[in-house]
Amino acid sequence: MTTYTTNLLDFSSKSAIVTGAASGIGRACARLLAHAGAEVVALDADAAGLEKSYAEVDNVTTAVADVADLSRVQAAVGTMAFDVALNAAGVMIRKDLTETSPDDWNRVISVNLTGYFNVLKAIAPHMPDGSAIIQIASITAHLGYRYPAYSATKGAILALTRQLARELGPRGIRVNSISPGVIVTGLNDTYFADPEHATPTISQTPLSRLGAPEDIANVALFMASPLASFITGEDILVDGGLGSTAHF
């Protein structure tokens, strides 16, 4: 009979970096990793949000940086060897193609795509064998949605994840993504406070609710842990079933 002597969700000898950690999904992931014992660097551009989020949380140090700026990211992380890296810093501009200006397009790309690249560029060379990278993508990478700049960055994250899984796998580094469905966070809480927006989404979701940041953090903890030790280059859609149904 197999005996389980170790807790595979114990991160107490591990270090982690989480971007977008001042709010929403990133914050829930950073807090859960810290709760599981990891020493966490919580990185975000929002200094006040970081301070508010971690004032009473152990195991977390904060770093203020704009992920779109490689030199700022490099200065914030140095040569630390992280066991877990989770990219979540992101922005959404709610505009269709006609309304999207070149500046809008470049801004979304610079944070949601170049920002992820910058963090990986700064930390991947120092990550040890057995480490894990998790990229927060989106259901919009899988399904037609309204906002082309945002959705294009999320599709690109799936491709980047697969390429890096191939490149970093031989070093024992796993690279996966999570595609959240609709999760109530700072990105959309005003929008979904309006029942006109929330009600149709809830009724199209088989599990009949909007998601919470913790729904994503739970899966991130699994993806970061040895429970997922043979998973790389993969994406998990965490959406209450929204993407599994046809809405017609």
Residues that bind ligand NAD (CB under 6 A): 20, 22-26, 44-46, 49, 66-68, 88-91, 111, 115, 136, 138, 180, 182-183, 185-188
Q: Which residue of the set 54, 116, 147, 150 is catalytic? A: 150
Residue (20 or 148) nearer to ligand NAD, CB: 20
Residue 93's SS3 state is coil
The CA distances from residue 168 to 175, 176, 213, in Å, are 8, 11, 28
Question: In sequence order, what are the residues at sequence separation of 6 or more whose Cβ sits closer than 8 angstroms to the Cβ of residue 196?
Answer: none
Shortest Cβ distance from residue 153 to ligand NAD (Å)? 8
Residue (172 or 201) nearer to ligand NAD, CB: 201
Shortest Cβ distance from residue 152 to ligand NAD (Å)? 12
The CA distances from residue 61 to 173, 206, 209, 217, in Å, are 24, 38, 33, 19
What is the spatial distance between Cα 233 and Cα 158, in angstroms, rounded to a whole number? 8
Residue (15 or 177) nearer to ligand NAD, CB: 177
Shortest Cβ distance from residue 16 to ligand NAD (Å)? 16
**Which H or E run contains 63?**
strand 60-64
Residue (186 or 243) nearer to ligand NAD, CB: 186
Q: Which of 197, 127, 115 is nearest to 160 (CA)?
A: 115
Instruction: Tell me if residue 150 is catalytic.
Output: yes
What is the spatial distance between Cα 67 and Cα 41, in angstroms, rounded to a whole number? 14
The residue at minimum Cβ distance from ligand NAD is 24
60, β-bridge pairs: 40
Shortest Cβ distance from residue 86 to ligand NAD (Å)? 10
Determine the residue type at 174: R
The tokens 């199209």 sit on which residue?
Answer: 204
Residues classed as catalytic: 150
